[in-house]
């Protein structure tokens, strides 16, 4: 079988035409090349096989160009997204997390601030009693209070609480129920800082802040007067 000619016909054939050609070859005993040529000639009709091959070659070229253009657009969008995610020179980055043990229960908050010159500020402390949403907000507040003393020109803040991130980033919407005072405090702190951006990240990328919040939880004494004796031992962050 002349490989070059068969490849040319096979490249032009649709999947159904390739299948029809193989069946014709098996049924009539002709070669796959002849069977495919007959199938495509029948599909070409009065226009002729050569015209069909030329037209389909143009279609393949257009499809390749369309796919290439789509990939270019996708690559450009990805590059822009990555560029936006990169902190500018001189920017600080920070992570926060809060835990309730149980939920509601004892609170532990953790935050980490990292500066462009290798500065590192860790926050890990108990934060009273409440639920996980309050813990997350209190961690963010502690982070922003620490940032005010550092006066960063740009601060990128990351957290895994969609409730808190969305609540802060949508100030025109009603505040999350029960968290209104915390959002007001965050707004007050943000007004006293420079450029601040809050971004959500999945929990597995927030390990440092989570570790600091769990460290704070672990610092609580075994039992305190007035606490229910049957609180479970699991923690929710």
Domains located in the chain, CATH noted: 3-79 (no CATH), 92-218 (3.30.420.10)
Mean pLDDT across 52-70: 95
Burial bucket for residue 224 (CB in 10 Å: 0-12, 13-18, 19+): exposed
Tell me the per-residue pLDDT of 78-103, one tens digit each, with 9 for 90 and over. Answer: 888 776 667 777 899 999 999 999 99
| Average pLDDT along the chain | 91
Tell me the per-residue pLDDT of 202-226, one tens digit each, with 9 for 90 and over. Answer: 999 999 999 999 999 999 997 666 6
Mean pLDDT across 140-163: 96
Lowest-confidence pick of 9-18, 214-223, 225-234: 225-234
Residue (of 81, 91, 236, 82) closest to 160 by Cα position? 236
- Specify the pLDDT at position 89: 77
Lowest-confidence pick of 47-61, 110-124, 149-163, 215-229: 215-229
The band of 232, judged by pLDDT with boundaries at 50, 70 and 90, is: very low
Helix (H) or strand (E) holding 11: helix 3-12
The band of 15, judged by pLDDT with boundaries at 50, 70 and 90, is: very high
User: Distance (Å, rounded) from C-alpha 180 to C-alpha 178?
Assistant: 6
Residue (of 28, 9, 27) closest to 18 by Cα position? 9
- Specify the pLDDT at position 226: 63
Residue (of 175, 171, 169, 95) closest to 136 by Cα position? 95
């Amino acid at each position: 079988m002349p490989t070059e000619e068969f490849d040319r016909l096979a490249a032009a054939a649709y999947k159904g035409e390739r299948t029809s050609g193989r069946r014709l070859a098996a049924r009539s005993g002709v070669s796959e090349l002849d069977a495919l040529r007959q199938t495509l000639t029948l599909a070409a009709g009065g226009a002729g096989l050569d015209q069909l091959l030329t037209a389909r070659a143009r279609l393949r070229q257009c499809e390749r160009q369309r796919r290439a253009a789509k990939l270019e657009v996708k690559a450009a969008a990805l590059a822009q997204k990555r560029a936006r995610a990169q902190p500018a020179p001189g920017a600080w980055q920070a992570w926060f997390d809060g835990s309730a043990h149980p939920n509601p229960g004892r609170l532990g908050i953790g935050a980490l601030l990292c500066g462009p010159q290798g500065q590192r500020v860790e926050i890990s402390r108990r934060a009273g009693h409440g639920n996980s949403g309050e813990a997350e907000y209190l961690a963010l507040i502690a982070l922003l209070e620490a940032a005010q003393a550092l006066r960063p020109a740009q601060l990128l803040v990351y957290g895994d609480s969609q409730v808190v991130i969305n609540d802060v980033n949508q100030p025109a919407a009603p505040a999350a129920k029960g968290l209104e005072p915390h959002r007001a405090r965050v707004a007050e702190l943000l007004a006293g800082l420079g450029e601040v951006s809050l971004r959500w990240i999945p929990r597995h990328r927030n390990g440092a802040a989570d570790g600091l919040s769990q460290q704070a939880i672990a610092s609580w004494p075994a039992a305190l007067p007035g606490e229910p004796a049957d609180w479970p031992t699991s923690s929710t962050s």
